[in-house]
Chain A
Amino acid sequence: MKWMLLCWLLLAPPAWAAEALPMAENPQVEARLVVISEELRCLVCQNESLASSNAELAEDLRREVRKLIREDKTDAQIKTYLVERYGDFVLYRPQVKPLTWPLWFGPFFMLLAAVWGLWRYLRLRKNALGQAHASPRPASNEAATHKD
C-alpha cells in the first residue's frame, strides 16, 4: 500500500510545472514567450529566469516580449531588444564574440593544456625510465639472457 502511494506521488505531475503567468490570451504567443524567456535572466533576482520570476520588472519585461512576439519579431530581434537595454547579462547563453571567447573556449584550451602537460610528463618519465634501463648493468643482463 505504502509502495503504491509512493509511486503515485512520484508519478504525479510536479506542482511547479505551471509558471505564474497571467492568463494566456493567445496560447501561441504564450508558448513562444515561455521558450524565449527561459533563456533570459531576470535582473532583479539574478538567478531566476524571466519565465519563472515573479518580480515586477520581470512582469513588465514579459509584457514587452509578448508585445514583440505579437509584432512577429524573431527570437534574435527580441533578444537584441533586451541586450541593447540591459546588456549581455540578460542572456543565459552568452553570444560568441571576442569578449566571451575565454568563456566559450577557455575550458577547452585548459583541457588541451592539461593533455599537453600530461603528455610531456609521461614522455619525460618514459625517457627517465628508458635511461635507467639503458644503464650498463641491465644491458649486460639482457645480453646475458640473450646468450642463454
Chain B
Amino acid sequence: MNKKFLIPLALFAALVVFLAVGLTRDPREIPSPLVGKPAPEFSLPVLVGDKPFSPSDLKGKVWMFNVWATWCVACREEHPLLVDFAKSSRIPVVGLSYKEIQPQDMANGPLKDAEKLQMARERSLRFLQRQGDPYSLSVLDLDGRVGIDYGVYGVPETYLIDKQGIIRYKRVGPLTPQILIDTVLPLIQTLEAS
C-alpha cells in the first residue's frame, strides 16, 4: 500500500526517458528502405568525357556514391573531408551532381537540355577545380530522377555500395570525421574483406 504512490512516479520517469531520447534524435534522419537492396541502375552523362556511367560498371568493387551540388551549402562544408577521404582511401568515390540547374537559373526563360548540361558541367568543374576533386568520376542528374530512385531528399547524401552492387550504408546530410572513423571506414574494411 505504502509503495503504490511510486507507480505514477515510475510512469512519469519512463515518459521522461522516452522524451529525452526522442529529443536527441534527428527527425530528418529516416531509416532508408534502400539499405540491403541493389543500387538502382541508371545511365547518366559524366562530367568529363562522353561515355555515360552506370553503377554496374563498378561491379566487383566497393565504392562510395556521394550526392552533391554546387548550390548546396552543407556539401561545401563536407567537401574538404571528402577530398581528404579520397586521398587516403582506395575505393572509388562517384559523385552525383544533383539538380545542378535550379529554377532560379531559368529566370530568363526555360533552357534546352543541352544548355542545362553545358551549364551544369561548367559550374561543377569550376567548383571542383577550386575546392579539389574527390571524385573518381562525376555524373550529372539534371532532373533529379536518379535522385528519386536513390531516395534523395536532403543533399549531401552518401552511400556505400558493395561488390555485389548492394547498398550497405546511407547517410543523409554531411559526413563528419566522427562518422567516417566510427562507421564508414570499418564498414569499408568489412565489405572489402568479404
Give A contacts to B, CB under 8 Å: 43-44, 46, 56-57, 60-61, 64, 83-89
Q: How many positions in chain B have a CB within 8 Å of any CB in the partner chain?
A: 20
Contact of B151 among A44, A56, A87 (CB under 8 A): A87
Contacts A56-B99, A61-B148 given; indicate if A86 touches B33 (C-beta within 8 A). yes
> Which residues from chain A contact B27 at a C-beta distance below 8 Å?
46
Contact of A87 among B33, B103, B149, B154 (CB under 8 A): B33
Q: How far is the CB of B7 from chain A (nearest CB, A)?
A: 10
A84 pairs with B33, CB closer than 8 A = yes
A89 pairs with B30, CB closer than 8 A = yes
A83 pairs with B148, CB closer than 8 A = no
> Which residues from chain B contact A60 at a C-beta distance below 8 Å?
143-145, 147-148
Closest B residue to A64 by CB, please name it.
Answer: B148
Closest B residue to A46 by CB, please name it.
Answer: B27
Q: How far is the CB of A51 from chain B (nearest CB, A)?
A: 17
Closest A residue to B40 by CB, please name it.
Answer: A85
In the assembled complex, 9 residue pairs joining A and B whose CB atoms fall closer than 8 Å, in A order, are A44-B154, A60-B147, A60-B148, A64-B148, A85-B148, A85-B149, A87-B31, A87-B32, A87-B33
Q: How far is the CB of A63 from chain B (nearest CB, A)?
A: 9
Interface string of B7-42 (1 = CB under 8 A from A): 000000000000000000001101111100000000
> Which residues from chain B contact A44 at a C-beta distance below 8 Å?
153-154
Q: How far is the CB of A23 from chain B (nearest CB, A)?
A: 15
> Which residues from chain B contact A87 at a C-beta distance below 8 Å?
30-33, 151
> Which residues from chain A contact B68 at a C-beta distance below 8 Å?
none
Contact of B150 among A56, A83, A85 (CB under 8 A): A85
Closest A residue to B27 by CB, please name it.
Answer: A46
Bound together, the chains give a CA A60 to CA B143 distance in angstroms of 8
